[in-house]
Structure 1
């Protein structure tokens, strides 16, 4: 059994507190590793290492920094399969799916590196005819905390890390205690000066003091609403920044003019992929009455094709991350059934090892059921039939969440109305696609802080204006 250590100043370091936590493979229910439970002393040591490394990293010529980051990307690309297998062991994600998303994370990391070459770290903004000269310099913030969830550990880290490091910051990475194996290996593979990237392991006993540390200038957090609120309060007390992505209860709107079979297949994918453990999974489905019967039948047929498998290399349904998450999913499903929903398939805990849950379809659901109000985070498709696209939009907005939404329609008037949906991401006729220049910020309790394109660099830097008088010799 592997025992993981914090990585501080480029070196594995024993935790201050000897208490350990188990990491469990959710497909086998077997312990696969032990990690430190975490402590404030560990968090302080990681932050101190990042502080010590910051000045040297920030002073590097930009091309030198980007060169080091590019070499790290090259190295990570040679270890995609290894990282994917670690994600499978720690949270059950099928290896082919993990490889796909890790490759996407590396591509995002590279995009951040390339975008840094054109980002205006130094910009002359002198207006025509203005007396004197004004130069805006974007300075790195300093030490940043990157706290990532268990469902896409490597992708979450790499999606954020490029702009943070390229801008000259140093980082402490805190993975979920449920899924630390891939994060530990990623940090080991980083070809960067000691202390630029540090790994802090543990549960809230490590994460809370990290988020509260006075030297941390930005907390980039992905996780639950409750934990995100705590992070925001801690940062507010220090008058420091946060970027928060706090989950969603994402709607799908299926219009009357769709290709029913193709749309049902797409919705099944967005609902059941990674066993529904994606922040932007489809969790509420609103289908127009004109195609409802045909769509529901097609969706049930698709769901029955998503079979549970403990084969790491199977593309089917892997397990949920732990039994706690499976209980949440099961409770949501059966609370809905008890209140009048119709269970068309799935909905039962299988009699087998592992925290598996079958692809499930429900109809006759109502907006006051927990499954329609809370984030279920499982392979469940609750379907509501609507009489118009306008009704679908109204129901889509009956939530405090606002992370993503997906619309399937070819009607121009209805597509124009998609701007009325309260979400950071609105996908039209294809789930999970996106351009390299997209920028988004969560709505409602789904979080705060814009990311993507230049916004990620804006969040990771502080603007300073240098104001030169007309008589200054600029050299």
Structure 2
């Protein structure tokens, strides 16, 4: 069994802490690695290395940084199978699904890095006095990236690209539940020592990293509870944070759409990666005119999501990441049933090893139930029937979360009305649609800080204006 190590200043080192925990394969419950739980000394050394490396990295031309990072993206794409297999072992994601997301993430990373070539790091604006104002956007220096367990490789790449291309160095802390793929990701990296450093662990690594005054930006993806703590600490230090937190993403299904095709799309949005996606469809509001055929098709689709080890070619639905997460899912379903919901598919914890939970469809749900108000993060599709598109829109909008939302409609007026949902991203007729030009900021308890495309470069840099008046 491998004991994982930190990467500090280009050297793989043992943790200075004396606590460790097991990384468990959630499909078999077998221990697959031993991971340090982290220590302040690990963090201090990693930030030291990032501080030392940053001036030389920033001194490179933008084109040279882009070229170095693009080569890494190509290497990642070539190792997508290997990285997907590691994600499967540590958090259960089916290998085929992991491979697709990692390949897409490598492509997105390369595209995001290339945007640096067009970004206005320096802009000269004529001034009314005949002089000029030069706006220079300089890197922040050292940044921290803290990623969750559900998409360790894609989430890491999504954060790193603009930060590194802008000239920052990074200290990366992956989730203690899925550290193996992050270790391998950095083993594949060919960048100067200290440009990207890795510290492993739980809050014993995360808390001191967030609290280090030398860190100019914390890019955090995780729970609302943890995100609040990050925001409080960075706010006290007058440092930036980008927080992408929980979601309870709605989907509104209008009359006039194909109920069977839409049900298949909703099934994928609700069940993919066992519902362990920040933007999973967690609330479904379907128009009464098509509710019956839609629900029948959704139940039928749920039955095709075969449970199993993600290494098996026939597996569509892998396990949940651990027993704690499965207990949350089971509790939400039990709460809904106790309040009058009906289980139309799934809803029962399977016997045997592994933290599996079947694709589940609930009807008769309302906002008194946990499954409609709190993030479930499991393969659950709770369906509420609404009398009109307007009711669906109103109920979709009535949440403290605002990460993303999806609307299926054939009505142009309803397509335009979809923008009324307070969310960072609204997809119309295609969940996860769009390209790398997307920029967004979560609403409500789902986080803060705009990111994506040019907004990611704005967040990664600090602007200074230098005004030069005409000589006397």
Task: Output one character per residue of 1:40-86: Cα deviation in whole Å (capped at 9) or x when no partner.
Answer: 11111111110010111111122221221122112212211111100
| Cross-structure match for 1:382 | 382
Give, in angstroms, the shift of residue 320 of structure 1. Answer: 0.2
SS at match of 1:282: coil
| Cross-structure match for 1:237 | 236
| Cross-structure match for 2:83 | 83
Q: Name the CA distance, whole Å, in 2 between partners of 1:439 and 1:219.
A: 18
Q: Name the CA distance, whole Å, in 1 between partners of 2:457 and 2:17.
A: 36
1:439 matched to 2:443: no
| Cross-structure match for 2:104 | 104
1:125 matched to 2:125: yes
Task: Output one character per residue of 1:148-198: Cα deviation in whole Å (capped at 9) or x when no partner.
Answer: 000000000111111100000000000000000000111111110000000
1:252 matched to 2:248: no
Q: Name the CA distance, whole Å, in 1 between partners of 2:436 and 2:334.
A: 41
- Pairing of 1:352-367 with structure 2 (within 5 A): 352-367=352-367
Q: Name the CA distance, whole Å, in 2 between partners of 1:160 and 1:223.
A: 13
Q: Name the CA distance, whole Å, in 1 between partners of 2:123 and 2:7.
A: 37
SS at match of 2:445: helix
Q: Which runs of 4+ in 1 moved over 6 A?
A: none
Q: Name the CA distance, whole Å, in 2 between partners of 1:61 and 1:287.
A: 52
- Pairing of 1:59-458 with structure 2 (within 5 A): 59-127=59-127, 129-314=128-313, 315-458=315-458
SS at match of 1:50: helix
Give, in angstroms, the shift of residue 362 of structure 1. Answer: 0.4
SS at match of 1:43: helix
How many residues matched? 471
| Cross-structure match for 2:33 | 33
| Cross-structure match for 1:7 | 7
Contact 2:129/2:469, CA 8 A, preserved across alignment: no
Give, in angstroms, the shift of residue 436 of structure 1. Answer: 2.7
Contact 2:287/2:386, CA 8 A, preserved across alignment: yes
Give, in angstroms, the shift of residue 311 of structure 1. Answer: 4.4
Q: Name the CA distance, whole Å, in 2 between partners of 1:354 and 1:255.
A: 38
Contact 1:83/1:186, CA 8 A, preserved across alignment: yes
TM-score, with structure 1 as normaliser: 0.98
SS at match of 2:440: coil
Root-mean-square deviation (CA), in Å? Answer: 1.0
Task: Output one character per residue of 1:272-329: Cα deviation in whole Å (capped at 9) or x when no partner.
Answer: 0000000000000000000111111110000011110114143410000000000000
Q: Name the CA distance, whole Å, in 1 between partners of 2:407 and 2:9.
A: 47
Q: Name the CA distance, whole Å, in 2 between partners of 1:79 and 1:388.
A: 48
TM-score, with structure 2 as normaliser: 0.98
Q: Name the CA distance, whole Å, in 2 between partners of 1:313 and 1:207.
A: 34
Structure 1 unpaired stretches of 5+:
none
Contact 2:112/2:436, CA 8 A, preserved across alignment: no
SS at match of 1:144: strand
Give, in angstroms, the shift of residue 453 of structure 1. Answer: 1.1
Q: Name the CA distance, whole Å, in 1 between partners of 2:423 and 2:296.
A: 28
Give, in angstroms, the shift of residue 371 of structure 1. Answer: 0.6
Contact 1:144/1:216, CA 8 A, preserved across alignment: yes
Q: Name the CA distance, whole Å, in 2 between partners of 1:100 and 1:126.
A: 48
Structure 2 unpaired stretches of 5+:
none
Give, in angstroms, the shift of residue 435 of structure 1. Answer: 2.6
| Cross-structure match for 1:471 | 471
Q: Name the CA distance, whole Å, in 2 between partners of 1:424 and 1:185.
A: 31
Give, in angstroms, the shift of residue 130 of structure 1. Answer: 4.1
Contact 1:96/1:313, CA 8 A, preserved across alignment: no
Q: Name the CA distance, whole Å, in 2 between partners of 1:337 and 1:74.
A: 48
